[in-house]
Structure 1
Amino acid sequence: MKALVLGARGAVGRVVAAELLAAGDEVIPAGRTAVPGGVRVELPTEDGWRALKRESASVDVVVNASGIEDARIATYVGTTPLVEISATAAYLAQLRDANVVLGAGLAPGLSTVLARALASEPGDEIDLLVMLGSGEVHGPAAVAWTADLIGAEVYQPAEGGVVRNLTTSQMVVGPDRRRRRYLRADFPDNLLLADLRVRSYLTLSSGLATATLAAVAHVPSLKGLIARAPHLGSSDWHVIAVNRRTGERLATSGAGQSETTGLLTALAAQRVAGTRPGIVTMDEIVALPDLLGVTTPDGRPAVALAEPAADAPKVLDL
């Protein structure tokens, strides 16, 4: 299998490239500057679009780990399957008439698979609660995504009406038995799981960092502080899925958001390489047991199934 990895030098892209190479696949790293064995694809320049079209025609799959959210990427990739790790719902909604995996990382991606693993009926309300490790040094695209939530509205919220990011919350016990505040946030699973009504929430491994994020959300002019915030807390992450109707709850956890995202993205690339899947989501190409079988280069599970806390309350809006 031969893969073109856009953003191969970034926090996620380099993990994708390394994982594919370790599996015996051929990788062409691509970015604004060429590296040995790679190509220069500087988007969104005209030369960059031409290079993307040319290189995409010679590979089995293209992975966009560049952080660039431009619907023309799918156009120039052509019929080659595209694996997209973006967590921006409005951007993913623009990717039509393409062979693309929408949301192949942690959230969306693992979150999408976890929500689908719940026993549910059409129209059920699902809560996805995502903790990201604020002690981890994230790439510029991840930092920008978080900052862009501030002052913005949730894209087509499941509850209807206008919902501002990070201004409402829930208190929930996580798989580590700690009670945390989870802020309503615009992860795109409600778009990707069209038969369910999905609300997504975000917390950080540092309670102080979460409180700061919530405070800045009420004063959007201060969102520039996000990029300069110290890295408090750990690199631990978790994703919880709850069916409001039944109370069923599934939780997964791990460490290293960028590494886990890269490993899951590499798996998605291997699953769709050389095919024409149309527009699919992560839950359509892998199941939860597949993700639980993914391991890091040092041999530990990348994703662990966590037992729900015995005293975990049903998830209720505050």
Structure 2
Amino acid sequence: MVTSISTKAICLLNQIMSSPIPAITAQNFIEHFYLEGKELLELGALVPAVHCKYVENICDHEGRLVEIVRHDREFKYFSYTSGWVAVSSQEITVYQVSMKWVIKLIKSSIGITYSDAKQIDEHIWVLGEAWLKHIKVPVILASRLRQKAVYETLSNYLLERHSKRPALVLTLDLNLPSYITLPTKNRLVTIQDAMVFSHEKFSLNISFLAEKMGNNITQHGFSNGYRNLNLNDKAYRFSNQQASILEILDKSGCPMHKHEITALSNSMQNDLKGIFRKQGKYHPAWGEVIKYDGKGNYWLEY
């Protein structure tokens, strides 16, 4: 669980992530963002990166970047007017954003607690599924969408995996141009737009995100409580006992043995077939949504 963080600190984090080089020098945040930078450091949102190799030449009033080197056991740069000029540790110490920390924060803020994030690109992560009001929605985190390669990778992934079941794509980018859109009915929302600025501590406006998904969130997925499932224009209904089994399988995210499933559901039956069979007929979701390997292992595909 990620410790709570102030909204102002997240705004700084967003600003850093959207800069051409997603990092900040110690001197920069001490001079301009001390409180927010200190908070990010203490929480682990900023981590040390490779030292800065260049610094602005202020002695020659040229405003150009010059290389920093080790000279007489100190970090210095050479000035034509002043000779060797020492550079403070604050000027060369650089911090970068910990994406591992950011992913944990976003997952916690949107209510994803049971699945590991899957990275499909250096700048794209599949976070899992979140409840937006009463419907479960796939959530993806992305950054650097202005880069053509990143945008194309995300678009291709959405076309392949989410042409029928729309996903919510949250991005760390700021002020994206209008030409950056997603295929089919997938929705793109910036973290900045989804934040609740009236709150001192960072939080996401879940109602706003659900509204952004619009009618798409009613077209596919389980209802809250797992009593209903809409899938590919088919509607499935489940009993309380069946819903309990489905919730366990869905939150597991991987195959589970029938004995483990029935133990967790407190079912009196040891075989899932009996739970999903009535009067000799299997539930319509059996084999379609509820998959099995014939060895007692079950999982969901939808």
**TM-score when normalising by structure 2:** 0.25
Of structures 1 and 2, the one scoring higher in RCO (CA 8 A, sep 6+) is 1
Query: When you count strand as a share of all residues, which structure comes out higher?
Result: 2
**TM-score when normalising by structure 1:** 0.24
Q: Which has the larger radius of gyration?
A: 2
